[in-house]
Amino acid sequence: MSSIISRDVVIVGAGPSGLTAALELQKAGKTVAVLEARERVGGRTWTDTMNGATIEIGGQWISPDQTALYSLADELGIETFERWKAGKSVFIGADGVRHEYEGEDFPVSEHTVSEINKLIAKMDELAATVDPDRPWDAPDAKELDTISFHHWLASQTDDAEAVECVGLFIAGGMLTKPAKTFSALQALLMAASAGSFSNLVDEDFILDRRLSTSMQGVSLAVAERVGHENIFLDNPMLKLEWSEADGGHVVAHGSTVTVQAKRVILAIPPNLYTRPSFVPPLPRWQQVTHQHQSMGLVIKVHAVYDTPFWREKGLSGTCFSPSSLVQEIYDNTFHTDDNGTLVGFVSDEKADAMWALSEDERKDAILGDMARFLGEEAKNTKLFYLSDWGSEEWTRGAYATSYDLGGLHRFGPTQNDAVGPIYFSSSDLAGEGYQHVDGAVRMGRRTAARIVADLAGKEYDASYDGATSLY
């Protein structure tokens, strides 16, 4: 028998965006209930301890541009620590040759370095014209949204290795889709959301620091403030009844609790909007829009060792190769751990190939590739774990959703529009901080502010960027 409660706002999803919205609404004097399908809070941030190692299964890094996340961490009293960066990096080129190097440039030919830098400069130039909140208003937005990122890069240079190297940062590193499947405008949104393309290609910037509590610790701390009595775990929203009559109201039906409220926030990724039933159905445009937003796919590899052996070799643990199975590797040793941990990433079509193998074949292939970068010791793990968000029922991919080719300029302008009493909030819909926890926090704050203004019959200040709390 489902219990029935009444609140001002019901939030669907207890990830960083939903919990931030709940906290902001409470600070503004509103009552909330949070329905979460999982048995935990944190959404796409999730930490576990395995064999004595701290494993951040989901999102984990914080960069200098992520001021909203920093402000929330400060509010919660959470400190940060620097990612290990000391030592040489390793690069394996298209010819399969391994290079140790220092500095910003990959150890490729002078011509390829020049072409890479030319592409980065061009991306910086274009990204500066893009408002991350409104990329569809950028000059030539339609043209940029109807050419794939790969083909746009190839139109700027005849150096195939430069195309692959630059494409790696967006395709494998961020959107986790082949560069031929998303647009140049989508790539520019990713760059503009981080301040510039140069920021995205600088691993010491974009992967600067980590949270002392782990990234999930942010959600756990916010949940404490929201109050566990207001958070209903293992309660996916099965049906949403909604109406615009009499100022608007909703009835959200969870597994064991039903919430009557004035407004609802869907703080889940867009690919999950179709999971609950809507009575009446969402408008045509919303239903079509959601079909053009899809998750990427990436395997996050966690390899734990007795010691960080690569440091003894004078290596940072940072490795790159556009042509390798594991395209990126970093030293991921948690600040309180005594062991050594590497994190690697196997993206899009390469991830498809790995999931087609047996467990032993998959482990051998991945560790064998990591050993090409860091030596045979990389094969001798004390723990080997793969983050598999693609099989996680309430996520279905990683890291976040993006539009298919041509979708951003067509559907993006209305993606954040409320449908009567229904609001949408997630990092997938953010401008600044797009796809990152920072974007989730910004969206949570901005959505809460919109609802507070709406319920008060006041106009919302659209210039508010969510970088700091209003309350």
The DSSP line for 6-62 is: E-SEEEE--SHHHHHHHHHHHHTT--EEEE-SSSSS-TT--EEEETTEEEE-S--EE
Q: Give the HSE-up count for residue 345: Cα atoms under 13 Å, Cβ half-sphere.
A: 31
Residue type, 75: E
Two tokens at 255? 């597994």
Both tokens of 312, joined, read 């003894």
Residues of the chain with pLDDT under 50: none
Closest CA to 300 of 352, 364, 345: 345
pLDDT at residue 1 in the model: 64
What is the CB-side half-sphere exposure of residue 248 using CA atoms within 13 A?
16
* Calpha distance 251→262 (Å, rounded): 9
Residue 309: Cβ-neighbour burial (10 angstroms; 0-12, 13-18, 19+): middle
User: DSSP alpha helices (H): ranges in 227-344?
Assistant: 284-290, 309-312
Count Cβ atoms below 10 Å from residue 381 Cβ, excluding itself: 19
**Residue 57, pLDDT score:** 98
Percent helix, strand and coil across the chain, each to the nearest 5: 40, 20, 40
Q: How far apart are CA 446 and CA 17, in angstroms?
A: 10
CA angle 395, 397, 402 (to 5 degrees): 105
Taking phi over 0 as left and psi of -120 to 50 as alpha, with beta for the rest, 466 belongs to: left
pLDDT, residue 2, reads 78
Q: Which helix (H) or strand (E) holds 36?
A: none
Measure the CA–CA gap between 448 and 24, rounded to whole angstroms. Answer: 6
What is the DSSP-derived secondary structure letter of residue 325?
S
Q: How far apart, in whole angstroms, are the C-alpha atoms of residue 326 and residue 373? A: 10
Report how far residue 468's alpha carbon sits from residue 365's, in angstroms, rounded to the nearest whole number. 45
Amino acid at 301: V
> Taking a C-beta distance cutoff of 8 angstroms, is the pair 90, 100 a contact?
yes
Which stretches of 20-134 are assigned E, i.e. beta strand? 32-35, 47-50, 53-56, 61-62, 80-82, 88-92, 98-101
